[in-house]
Amino acid sequence: MESETAVKALSALAQEHRLASFRMLVQAGETGMPAGAVAEALGIPNSSLSFHLAHLTHSGLVLQRRQGRSLIYTADYEAMNALVGYLMENCCGEAGCAPPAACAAEAPDERTPEERKRA
Partner DNA sequence: CTAAGATTTCGAGATTTCTCGAAATATCGA
Partner DNA sequence: TCGATATTTCGAGAAATCTCGAAATCTTAG
**Interface residue list for DNA (CB under 7 A):** 11, 14-18, 34-37, 39, 44-55, 64, 66, 68-71
Is the separation of the CB atoms in 35 and 50 below 8 Å?
yes
Binding mask 8-37 for a copy of itself (x = CB under 8 A): --xx-xxxx--xx-xx--xxxxxx------
The option from a copy of itself, DNA, none interacting with 113 (CB < 5 to 8 A, set by class) reads none
Of 18 and 25, CB closest to DNA = 18
Per DSSP, the three-state class of 44 is: coil
Which residues, in sequence order, are CB contacts of 71 under 8 Å at separation 6+?
A: 34, 35, 64, 65
The option from a copy of itself, DNA, none interacting with 34 (CB < 5 to 8 A, set by class) reads DNA
Contacts of a copy of itself in 66-105 (CB under 8 A): 77, 80, 84, 86-95, 97-105
18 burial via Cβ count (<10 Å: 0-12, 13-18, 19+):
buried
Is the separation of the CB atoms in 17 and 52 below 8 Å?
yes
Q: Is 1 in the site for a copy of itself (CB under 8 A)?
A: no
